[in-house]
């Protein structure tokens, strides 16, 4: 009741103030979330493997390498992705 009788603020101004405040804090929270997810996002090993195969497919498609060279290089790529120490298990 005090707002209606004792001040110059109309009820729509108070409502507008709340809407702007909620919108502002929502944007701040969204900005912090977007910043944290972009900083912590890392490419996975599967993505890197797909990228290397895609890069290797291009010279084959252009005819720069033959199928034998393609298979040899593909075996090298897949051999590089084996975990370190995987052959040491008994």
Q: What is the pLDDT along the chain (90 residues), one digit of tens a residue?
A: 455 565 677 888 999 999 999 999 999 999 999 999 988 887 655 555 567 788 888 898 999 989 999 999 888 888 766 555 555 544
Threshold 0.75, pTM exceeds? no
Whole domain around residue 16: which residue ranges?
A: 2-40
89 belongs to a structural domain: no
Q: Is residue 52 part of a domain?
A: yes
Q: Are residues 49 and 75 both part of a single domain?
A: yes
For residue 7, what pLDDT is reported?
65
Q: 15 with 28, same domain? A: yes
Q: For residues 48 and 55, is the Cβ–Cβ distance under 8 A?
A: no
Regarding whether 36 and 49 lie in a shared domain, the answer is no
**Can you give the pLDDT at residue 33?**
95
In terms of Cα–Cα distance, which of 81, 30, 77 is closest to 56? 77
Give how far the C-alpha of residue 74 lies from the chain's centroid of Cα atoms, to the nearest Å: 28
Q: Are residue 69 and residue 52 in the same domain, yes or no?
A: yes
Best CA proximity match to 70, nearest among 80, 46, 78, 45: 78
């Amino acid at each position: 009741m005090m707002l209606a009788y004792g001040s110059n603020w109309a009820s729509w101004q108070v409502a507008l103030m709340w809407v702007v405040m909620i919108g502002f804090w929502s944007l701040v929270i969204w900005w912090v979330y977007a910043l944290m997810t972009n900083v912590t996002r890392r490419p996975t090993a599967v993505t890197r493997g797909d990228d290397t195969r895609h890069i290797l497919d291009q010279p084959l498609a252009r005819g720069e390498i033959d199928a034998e060279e393609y298979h040899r290089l593909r075996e090298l790529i897949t051999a590089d992705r084996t975990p370190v120490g995987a052959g040491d298990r008994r």
